[in-house]
Amino acid sequence: MRRNLIAGNWKMNKTAAEGVALARELKDKLSGQCCCCNGPQVLVCPPFTTAAAVAAELKDSCILVGAQNIHWADNGAFTGELSGAMLKDLPVGWVIIGHSERRQYFGETDETVNKRTKAALKHGLHPIVCIGELLAEREANQTNAVLEKQVRGALAGFTVAEMATVVVAYEPVWAIGTGKVASNEQAQEAHAFIRSLLVTLFGTDVAGATRILYGGSMNAQNAAGLLAQPDIDGGLIGGAALKAADFATIVAAAK
C-alpha cells in the first residue's frame, strides 16, 4: 500500500527565525500523530536561506525537510542556482521540481525538469515532479494531452529502478493560489490518468507504487475528501502549509 505524503511548500516565505518558529509549532502539533510510524510522511520545503535552520530544528523529529529547486549541474557559472551537493549540505533529502510557478515565471520546461530530476536522483534526493494544466487548456479539453506531454518529457530516459524514489504532484495551475479547487472527481480522474501513463511507461508495479500528490489549493476543509480518492496519495500544500494548525489538520486527514 502506498503511504500518504503531505508536503508543505513554503515558497518565498519565512526568514530563518520565522521558519524555526513554524517548525517548532509543527513539531508540537504533530507529536501525537505518529507520522513516522503508521501515519503519513510529512515534509516541509522552506526557502534555501531558511532550510538549514529548519533542518536543525527538526533533526530529531519525524518531519522531513526538502528544497524547492535544484540545478542539473554539479557546479559552474549558474548564478542564483544550487547544486545537489549544496542541497545535501543544508541538509535536505527531498526537492520539488518543475512547480508551475517555476514554469510560469522562470522558463522551466519539460526538458529542464527532466535534467533537474536526474540531478536529484544522482545526489540521492527524492524528487517531487510537478505537472498540471492551465485553465485555458482544461476548458479546451486538453488536460490529458498536456499531462501526457509533461509526464513523458519529465521522466524520459528513466529506468524502473530510478522511478522507485520519484513522486509526482498533479497541480492544476488554475487551482493554485486562486481559492479554486478541482472537485474530488476531477482530481481523481486526473490522477488515474497519470497512473495509467506510468503503467504504459514503466509497468504496473511502478505505477502502483508511485505516489501521486494533489497540489491545487488543498486545505484543512477539503483535504479529507481529496485524500479519500483511490489514486490521490497525499498533497503538495502551499498556503495552508504556513499555518501549523491547518497543516496538522491535513496531516490528520491523511491518516
Dihedral (CA of 156, 157, 159, 163) sign: negative
What's the rounded Cα separation, in Å, for the pair 24 and 244? 9
Residue 204 CA, chain-centre distance (Å), reads 22
Runs of H (alpha helix) within the chain:
16-30, 48-57, 84-89, 100-106, 110-122, 135-139, 143-154, 184-202, 204-209, 223-227, 244-253
Q: What's the CA angle centered on 11, arms 5 and 80, to 5 degrees?
A: 120
Question: CA nearest 10: which of 54, 56, 60?
Answer: 54
| Catalytic positions | 99, 171
Classify each residue of 129-168 as buried b or exposed e, where b means 16 or more C-beta atoms within 10 Å of its C-beta. bbbbbbeebbeeeebbebbbebbebbbeebeeebbeebbb
Q: Which helix (H) or strand (E) holds 167?
A: strand 167-170
